[in-house]
Amino acid sequence: LTDCKVKEIKKNNQNLEVLVFTIDGEEKKLETEKVLLAAGRVPELGNIDVQRARNKS
């Protein structure tokens, strides 16, 4: 499950209960053992001449 906004994480016995909103705005409740939080980044390519770099290789 990607591109979600986490609203809430609760400890439920041995598991975690995660309440998320999907990209479509749908609310989903998940039960899991672990949660992975990862953030990506958009590369800054505005000042790089990609075509010129390809010709040199």
Helix, strand, coil % (nearest 5) of the chain? 10, 35, 50
Domains identified in the chain, total number: 1
- pLDDT tens for 11-37 read 998 999 999 999 999 999 999 999 887
Residue 27: domain span: 5-56
Q: What is the mean pLDDT of residues 30-47?
A: 83
Q: How many CB atoms lie within 10 A of CB 18?
A: 19
Q: What is the DSSP letter of 43?
A: -
- pTM to 2 decimal places: 0.58
Cα-based distances in Å from 33 to 7, 12, 20, 21, 47: 17, 10, 16, 19, 43
Show the tokens assigned to 29: 């409740």
